[in-house]
């Protein structure tokens, strides 16, 4: 059900992995008039918000005064009273160290209707992703969520450290990094065994997750040495040792590696998702954008005489998509290609055709214009009309070879790839990258031009094939890895092999 006017939703966004957001939270974000959000929400959490929704950041900014809690509550009340549908989005769960209780009380007092949408709290999520079960049949029958933020020295604490020390189960400390040394000492003073296993989990559930293990007596030193930073949880209990068996996220082949994807945004998702599945932290820095040219006379003319072509060659999934869009706009469908031999430059292009009901007659094994030329050797083209539908700036190998064989070739540009302006945040993230992937010559030239001297120097350069590699070298880059198969799967395989070295 959509967000209702005049209602404020106190919504948990989960611990960081976007996949751990609830269906309800996504439904509300997609329909609300306004979203008031904190710092610790998953990347992309607001992507599905309405175009006209008001997105208000009310979290802490490093080094800046944060918006006071009373002011946040007042703004929620005001928005609710104005009849707007409002999502108040918080990291984890809104009622676990999230001040959701206070906001709910302010809304009730003001007579504004609210609903609470629980989120997966870091205490169970980061631990699970670190391979630490917070309870265990043999070792822990209880778990306590504790704030580590109160100062045990100052006597102003609401926490009874001796009682905590005696607690018969797992202790999970939120906000516990800064005061860890004092807190650990207080627990030991209260009688907790300094040899008890403990762990600190930093940026849990994200590609940047890191876990540091030590005993209670040594955890503060280990955390300081490893420079563990917030957000991080401290887990104390024999269950922390179970990680030896149960850790999984941090064992993925690309965990801890940062990889830059330079494909156009519309195409990047497949590669980015595959990299994320392998554990990589993906920086999306699209170097290029696809600008359709399907309104041109040249395209219109070609569509008008599709029936005359004996051979139609498509050189990218984008080309297939745009050709079909142009055909549809002209009132045509796949039957317009019924008489032609259809050739696709590679498996991705063939797949895009298959999705539209056309099984390509010719698909070379290698994704290269030269390979397509070879694969077409058996197709009669002399004196026949051939359509090559492709990007504006593609190489001319294919049409030239076909013309040499007597074909009458129409080359039609369905789209142009233009340079995309890089997002400053992503540029900064890319500076520390381990890998930069290039899937075409245009991604190389455009990224190199766009970044200039901010090009990540530490990163290893991964190229999809020899043509892209040559362009990279001309642009002054050193190519560290070149795919053997010149498609996305081949590029992934090459990157994985390199990372395993
Ligand atoms: N409402 C949130 C907690 C907010 S308090 C929840 O339910 O999870 C902020 C603290 O939560 C951080 O200091 C840290 O201890 C913990 N935390 C939040 N996200 C985390 C993450 N991804 N990994 C580890 N700890 C996290």
Report pLDDT for 154: 59
Q: Note the residue count of the chain.
A: 501
N-terminal to C-terminal alpha carbon distance within the chain: 50
CA of 149 to the centre of ligand 1 (A): 12
Q: Using a 6 Å CB cutoff, which residues line ligand 1?
A: 15-16, 40, 90-93, 96-98, 121-122, 126, 174-175, 201, 203-205, 230-233
Q: In which residue ranges of the chain is pLDDT below 70? A: 61-64, 151-157, 266-268
Cis before 231? omega within 30: yes
Nearest atom within ligand 1 for CA of residue 122: 8
Nearest atom within ligand 1 for CA of residue 174: 15
CA of 40 to the centre of ligand 1 (A): 8
- Which long-range contacts does 26-31 make (Cβ < 8 Å, 24+ apart)? 27/1, 27/2, 28/2, 28/3, 28/87, 28/117, 29/87, 29/89, 31/2, 31/3, 31/85
Report pLDDT for 487: 87
CA of 138 to the centre of ligand 1 (A): 27
Each residue's pLDDT tens digit, 139-177:
999 999 999 987 555 556 678 999 999 999 999 999 999
Token pair in block for residue 44 = 């992309």
Nearest atom within ligand 1 for CA of residue 201: 24
Catalytic residue set: 38, 60
- Give the separation between CA 501 and CA 495, rounded to whole angstroms: 10
**CA nearest neighbour of 386 among 402, 405, 409, 406:** 409
Each residue's pLDDT tens digit, 31-41:
999 999 998 89
CA of 204 to the centre of ligand 1 (A): 8
**CA nearest neighbour of 486 among 437, 449, 446:** 437
- Give the separation between CA 329 and CA 345, rounded to whole angstroms: 25
Going along 278-364, which residue ranges are E strands?
281-284, 288-292, 311-314, 341-344
Report pLDDT for 151: 56
Q: How many CB atoms lie within 10 A of CB 42?
A: 20
Q: What is the DSSP letter of 325?
A: H
Nearest CA to ligand 1 atom 24: 232
Query: Best substitution site from 92, 104, 171 to test ligand 1's pocket, by max atoms within 8 Å of Cβ?
Result: 92
- Give the separation between CA 375 and CA 69, rounded to whole angstroms: 67
- Give the separation between CA 362 and CA 371, rounded to whole angstroms: 11
Nearest CA to ligand 1 atom 25: 232
Query: Best substitution site from 233, 234, 236, 281 to test ligand 1's pocket, by max atoms within 8 Å of Cβ?
Result: 233
CA–CA distances in Å: residue 381 to residues 67, 127, 299, 385, 406: 70, 63, 21, 7, 7
Strand partners, 172: 145, 235
- Give the separation between CA 64 and CA 112, rounded to whole angstroms: 30
Report pLDDT for 43: 87
Nearest atom within ligand 1 for CA of residue 119: 7
Which residues lie below 8 Å from residue 452, measured CB to CB, with a gap of 6+? Answer: none
Query: Best substitution site from 16, 25, 37, 40 to test ligand 1's pocket, by max atoms within 8 Å of Cβ?
Result: 40
Nearest CA to ligand 1 atom 6: 92
- Give the separation between CA 19 and CA 392, rounded to whole angstroms: 38
Strand 7-12 relative to strand 86-90, pairing: parallel
């Amino acid at each position: 059900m959509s967000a209702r006017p005049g209602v404020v939703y106190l919504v948990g966004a989960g611990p960081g992995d976007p996949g751990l957001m609830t269906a309800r939270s996504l439904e509300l974000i997609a329909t609300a008039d306004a979203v008031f959000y904190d710092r610790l929400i998953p990347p992309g959490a607001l992507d599905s918000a309405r175009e006209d929704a008001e997105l208000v950041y009310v979290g802490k900014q490093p080094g800046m005064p944060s918006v006071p809690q009373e002011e946040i509550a007042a703004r929620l009340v005001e928005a609710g009273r104005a009849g707007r549908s409002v999502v108040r989005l918080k990291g984890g769960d809104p009622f676990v160290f999230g001040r959701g209780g206070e906001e709910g009380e302010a809304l009730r007092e003001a007579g504004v209707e609210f609903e609470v949408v629980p989120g997966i709290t870091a205490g169970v999520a980061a631990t699970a992703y670190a391979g630490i079960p917070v309870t265990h049949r043999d070792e822990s029958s209880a778990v306590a969520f504790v704030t580590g933020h109160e100062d045990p020295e100052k006597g102003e604490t609401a926490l009874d450290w001796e009682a905590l020390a005696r607690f018969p189960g797992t202790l999970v400390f939120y906000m516990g990094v800064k005061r860890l040394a004092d807190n650990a000492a207080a627990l030991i003073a209260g009688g907790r065994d300094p040899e008890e296993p403990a762990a600190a989990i930093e940026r849990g559930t994200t590609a940047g997750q890191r876990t540091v293990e030590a005993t209670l007596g040594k955890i503060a030193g280990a955390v300081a040495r490893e420079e563990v930073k917030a957000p991080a949880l401290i887990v104390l209990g024999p269950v922390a040792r179970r990680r030896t068996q149960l850790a999984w996220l941090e064992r993925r082949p690309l965990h801890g590696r940062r990889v830059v994807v330079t494909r156009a945004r519309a195409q990047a998702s497949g590669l980015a998702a595959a990299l994320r599945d392998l554990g990589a932290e993906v920086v999306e820095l699209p170097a290029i954008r696809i600008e359709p040219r399907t309104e041109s006379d040249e395209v219109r003319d070609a569509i008008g005489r599709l029936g005359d072509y004996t051979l139609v060659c498509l050189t990218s999934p984008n080309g297939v998509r745009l050709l079909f869009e142009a055909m549809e706009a002209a009132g045509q469908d796949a039957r317009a290609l019924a008489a032609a031999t259809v050739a696709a430059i590679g498996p991705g292009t063939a797949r895009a055709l298959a999705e539209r009901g056309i099984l390509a007659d010719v698909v070379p094994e290698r994704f290269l214009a030269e390979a397509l030329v070879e694969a077409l050797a058996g197709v009669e083209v002399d004196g026949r009309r051939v359509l090559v539908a492709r990007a504006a700036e593609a190489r001319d190998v294919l049409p030239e070879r076909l013309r040499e064989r007597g074909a009458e070739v129409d080359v039609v540009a369905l789209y142009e790839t233009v340079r995309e302006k890089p997002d400053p945040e992503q540029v900064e993230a890319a500076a520390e990258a381990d890998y930069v992937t290039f899937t075409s010559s245009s991604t190389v030239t455009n990224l190199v031009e766009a970044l200039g001297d901010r090009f990540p120097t530490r990163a290893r350069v991964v190229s999809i094939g020899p043509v892209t590699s040559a362009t990279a070298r001309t642009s002054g880059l050193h190519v560290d890895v070149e795919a053997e198969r010149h498609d996305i799967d081949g590029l992934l395989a090459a990157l994985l092999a390199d990372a395993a070295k």
